[in-house]
Structure 1
Amino acid sequence: MTSRDIFFVSNSVDELGGVTSWSHQMARLFTEHGHRVHVVGITEPDVPQDLGGDLPYPTTTLYDAKPQKLRPVNGVRGRLDPVAAWHRRARAAGMRDQAAKLSAMFRAARPGAVVIVTQVWAMEWVVLADTAGASVIGMSHESYEYTRRTSRYPRVLRYYPEADRMLVLTREDADLWIRHGLDNTGWMPNPLPFMPGEPSPRTEKTVASMGRLTDQKGIDMLLDAWAETAPRHPGWTLRIYGAGEDEEALRRQCTDLGLDGSVAWMGRTNDVPGALRRSSLFVQSSRGEGFPLALMEAMATAVPCVAFDCAPGVRDIIRDGEDGLLAPPGNTSELARRLGQLMADQPLRDRMGEAARVNVQRYVPAEIVRRWEELFAFLER
């Protein structure tokens, strides 16, 4: 195996969210395999996450202060506005200055270096940098359909065709991007974040949800589903782990639905395995996903999952009817029915939980690292 210089370039080094968790998991794995890793963020995050102690690789944040956001340009008057034009020039000059820092890092790398751009926004700086002699991999950590509904879609079409490889999380999503003109697209699943020695006994009447309290995660829909399920299954509690900008509105919704007695707001947790071991079911109600780490973590802890079938990555991870249950996206009544099915049937929970713990091991880190090594070697040819 060739030892390489590998750069991860993200929006932020320590932004709260799954991409950051994935980046640092892969950075550790590559470091353990003898590579020289550097994690780079464009700017400081609004909400940081605790990365836990000293990291075995360096990190760099390019901007000392956040780059100024540009207002949308509307019509001829907007294009001719001298103040707006000055802001555009100043921001472009600032981007070139920060890209020069990236160029210096990349030029100092050994032959065969790899630049892994984990998020679309970060790619706007990488395309300005000198990447000669390095392989550039541009990643998307969400499904094609979810990206299609966001401002990231035109930026992917603009910035990713020149990358040596665009990498998404499932074969199904790769096929969709290829169909829409990005024939440099491949796919790579996320690795299993952990494999706890002690699985959940699935004896507590507890359903867990984990994720940021934002619109994407669909906690509002989960509360609607729980309002149907909870009265039929007295004694069960929904524990919601996470924080975010929608928390206040979600708590009001919970109260309005009369759910305060059966919903516990747990905040962020630094003990994900412990929280999952105290759960008998896991639920994910997202409007959009990529290849959700939370599902993999729950399954590794032998907790069966119920989720909206909102992305190819979700149905790749959960084998519906074997190790978990899927509901049509956004259908809260069906999500409630599937939750109730498992809440009412202990033998079914146990059977699916044990199957989940076995099946999810197809994503063990050693297998995913092997696939990355094959990709690096292929791109170097």
Structure 2
Amino acid sequence: MRISFLLHNAYALGGTIRTTFNLAAALAGQGHQVEIASVFRHLDTPELPLDPRISLQHLVDMRRKHPAYEGGHPLHAQPAVVFPAGESRYRQYSRLTDERIGRWLAGLDTDVVVGTRPGLNVHLARQAPRGLVRVAQEHLTLETHSARLALTLRRLYPRLNAVTTTTEADAAAYRRRLRLTGVRVRAVPNSVPELAVTPSGLDAKFVVAAGRLVPVKRYGDLIRAFAKVVVERPDWGLRLYGAGVQREALARQIGELGLGGHVRLMGQVIPIEPELAKGSVLAVSSAMESFGMTIVEGMRAGLPVVSTDCPLGPGEIITHGVDGLLVPPGDCDAMAAALLGLINDDDRRHAMGRAALHTAQHYDPDRIAGLCAALFEQLLAERRGLRRHVTGHAVGAAYAANDLAHAAVRRAKRALKAR
């Protein structure tokens, strides 16, 4: 098969980029012809390693000191009309990106085109030739999208052939809320390659955590929980990897709690996997995880995981009491107790670490690529069998009209109440 991926920016860092590169490499390894188009390019080379078998091109050059820089293009000063206004990245898009993405889609010589964020999936729905199999990937969750964007997706996603989510819970939400008649909605988890280093021996006295230092990760909760851990086990430490807007606040919190000798902010490290393998337990304190790449990466390193049972990913990855422990979000006492339960019990920690290694195999890139390839082949077979995807546009328009009618009724009721 010929498979084309459309990414926001393949030259940056991020979970969507990493998992797309992993999947593309695995598909190429299975004999498929794979290409990636990056809407934007701000560096000469990608931050993350890309398999040389994969073709990479960019659509808009944003390298400021490069002769090809297009940030000053007249069309880039005009707001986008195809990329949806309800999408969080909307201000980065423009009439220039509308034109470039549309031109790229129109010229594709491929079997399957895959979008990797809602705004790009809308481009697929509106601009991709009908002869292509069009697949929308959801790397966040439906719940995280604005009501305005959800309405747009409900209207346009019926033009697509399939939507894939990273969890079964999110797939169920798409089926229930968007009612995508004629569109296959499948849960396909992210893939995580096997470590290039030896898994942890689980004897180092460190808990590790990794991710962006942003509010949703709730690292302040983890630090408060670890303050309780060191009261009982002052010989253990916490290493927190990542960069972000909360670094200074977290550093102050560490100082105020007197944890300077126990909790270290390690900064952003690439690759992260060898650092995870230096720890003995992985901690995840998030309020929300659309999937949980770090959880699987920790399991690949042989670490048992203590995680909040937040929506949506952790509970689908971790089997409580087998390869990790799940605690209520925001419950620092429960997090501390779970960490101490593994710190104080070597046998249990090692048993869960072995189970975590086994669980991680479920996310092997070859397996996940096989799931994707099977879905793509099925969709292609339907195309070739002339089972045309003809009802989606009409169904989507009907649902959108219904939504707009209900919205008008609600506005009228509010106006009456205000009188």
Q: Report the TM-score range of the alignment, normalised by the length of the smaller protein.
A: 0.7 to 0.9
Indicate the larger mover: 289-298 or 220-229: 220-229
SS in 1 for 2:170: helix
Q: 1:230 to 1:249 in 2, by over 3 A?
A: same
User: In the alignment, which residue of structure 2 is the partner of 1:179?
Assistant: 176
Is contact 1:225-1:333 (8 Å) kept?
Answer: yes
After TM superposition, give the deviation of residue 213 of structure 1 in Å: 1.4
User: In the alignment, which residue of structure 1 is the partner of 2:30?
Assistant: 33
User: In the alignment, which residue of structure 1 is the partner of 2:113?
Assistant: 115
After TM superposition, give the deviation of residue 254 of structure 1 in Å: 2.0
d(CA) in 2 for partners of 1:49, 1:287: 30
User: In the alignment, which residue of structure 2 is the partner of 1:84?
Assistant: none
User: In the alignment, which residue of structure 1 is the partner of 2:386?
Assistant: none
Indicate whether 1:303 and 2:303 are aligned: yes
User: In the alignment, which residue of structure 2 is the partner of 1:136?
Assistant: 134
After TM superposition, give the deviation of residue 326 of structure 1 in Å: 0.5
d(CA) in 2 for partners of 1:243, 1:376: 37
Is contact 1:42-1:122 (8 Å) kept?
Answer: no
Q: 1:154 to 1:327 in 2, by over 3 A?
A: farther
Is contact 2:122-2:153 (8 Å) kept?
Answer: no
d(CA) in 2 for partners of 1:363, 1:53: 19
Indicate the larger mover: 368-377 or 225-234: 225-234
User: In the alignment, which residue of structure 1 is the partner of 2:244?
Assistant: 244
Q: 1:41 to 1:281 in 2, by over 3 A?
A: same
44, 56, 61: which one aligns with 2:58: 61
Is contact 1:323-1:353 (8 Å) kept?
Answer: yes
Q: Which digits, 9 at most, give the CA deviation of each residue in 1:29-61, with x for residues without a partner?
A: 111122221112222469x96223773222222
User: In the alignment, which residue of structure 2 is the partner of 1:367?
Assistant: 367
User: In the alignment, which residue of structure 1 is the partner of 2:162?
Assistant: 165
User: In the alignment, which residue of structure 2 is the partner of 1:93?
Assistant: 95
Is contact 1:13-1:60 (8 Å) kept?
Answer: no
Count of residue correspondences: 354
SS in 2 for 1:43: strand
19, 24, 42: which one aligns with 2:21: 24
d(CA) in 1 for partners of 2:261, 2:35: 47
Q: Which digits, 9 at most, give the CA deviation of each residue in 1:2-40, with x for residues without a partner?
A: xx2211112111332111110001111111122221112
d(CA) in 2 for partners of 1:69, 1:344: 60
Indicate the larger mover: 171-180 or 49-58: 49-58
After TM superposition, give the deviation of residue 220 of structure 1 in Å: 2.2
After TM superposition, give the deviation of residue 317 of structure 1 in Å: 1.1
Using the size of structure 1 for normalisation, the TM-score is 0.85
User: In the alignment, which residue of structure 1 is the partner of 2:8?
Assistant: 11
SS in 1 for 2:330: coil
User: In the alignment, which residue of structure 2 is the partner of 1:192?
Assistant: 192
d(CA) in 2 for partners of 1:312, 1:124: 24
Is contact 2:12-2:47 (8 Å) kept?
Answer: no
Q: 1:63 to 1:150 in 2, by over 3 A?
A: farther
Question: What letter is aligned with 1:244?
Answer: G
d(CA) in 2 for partners of 1:42, 1:182: 29
Is contact 2:125-2:157 (8 Å) kept?
Answer: no
SS in 2 for 1:297: helix
d(CA) in 2 for partners of 1:242, 1:151: 32
After TM superposition, give the deviation of residue 363 of structure 1 in Å: 2.4
Indicate the larger mover: 202-211 or 282-291: 282-291
Q: Which digits, 9 at most, give the CA deviation of each residue in 1:181-201, with x for residues without a partner?
A: 333322111223224562211
Q: 1:305 to 1:152 in 2, by over 3 A?
A: farther
Gaps of 5+ in 2: 63-70, 81-89, 383-419
Question: What letter is aligned with 1:134?
Answer: L
After TM superposition, give the deviation of residue 158 of structure 1 in Å: 4.4
d(CA) in 1 for partners of 2:94, 2:112: 26
Question: What letter is aligned with 1:162?
Answer: R
After TM superposition, give the deviation of residue 179 of structure 1 in Å: 1.0
After TM superposition, give the deviation of residue 154 of structure 1 in Å: 4.4
Q: 1:159 to 1:226 in 2, by over 3 A?
A: farther
SS in 2 for 1:265: strand
d(CA) in 1 for partners of 2:61, 2:3: 23
Using the size of structure 2 for normalisation, the TM-score is 0.77
Indicate whether 1:254 and 2:251 are aligned: no
User: In the alignment, which residue of structure 2 is the partner of 1:340?
Assistant: 340
SS in 1 for 2:266: strand
Gaps of 5+ in 1: 72-87
Alignment of 1:48-87 (within 5 A): 50-52=47-49, 55-65=52-62, 67=76
d(CA) in 1 for partners of 2:368, 2:101: 30
Is contact 2:6-2:36 (8 Å) kept?
Answer: yes
CA RMSD of aligned residues (A): 2.6
Q: 1:68 to 1:208 in 2, by over 3 A?
A: farther
d(CA) in 2 for partners of 1:160, 1:222: 39
- Counting aligned pairs with the same residue, the percent is 29
Is contact 1:212-1:242 (8 Å) kept?
Answer: yes
User: In the alignment, which residue of structure 2 is the partner of 1:85?
Assistant: none
Q: 1:45 to 1:175 in 2, by over 3 A?
A: farther
Q: 1:172 to 1:100 in 2, by over 3 A?
A: closer
Question: What letter is aligned with 1:101?
Answer: R
User: In the alignment, which residue of structure 1 is the partner of 2:66?
Assistant: none
d(CA) in 1 for partners of 2:224, 2:200: 27
Indicate the larger mover: 171-180 or 153-162: 153-162
Q: 1:68 to 1:11 in 2, by over 3 A?
A: farther
Question: What letter is aligned with 1:93?
Answer: R
Indicate the larger mover: 322-331 or 190-199: 190-199
Alignment of 1:279-358 (within 5 A): 279-358=279-358
Q: 1:355 to 1:149 in 2, by over 3 A?
A: farther
Is contact 1:141-1:168 (8 Å) kept?
Answer: yes
Question: What letter is aligned with 2:319?
Answer: R
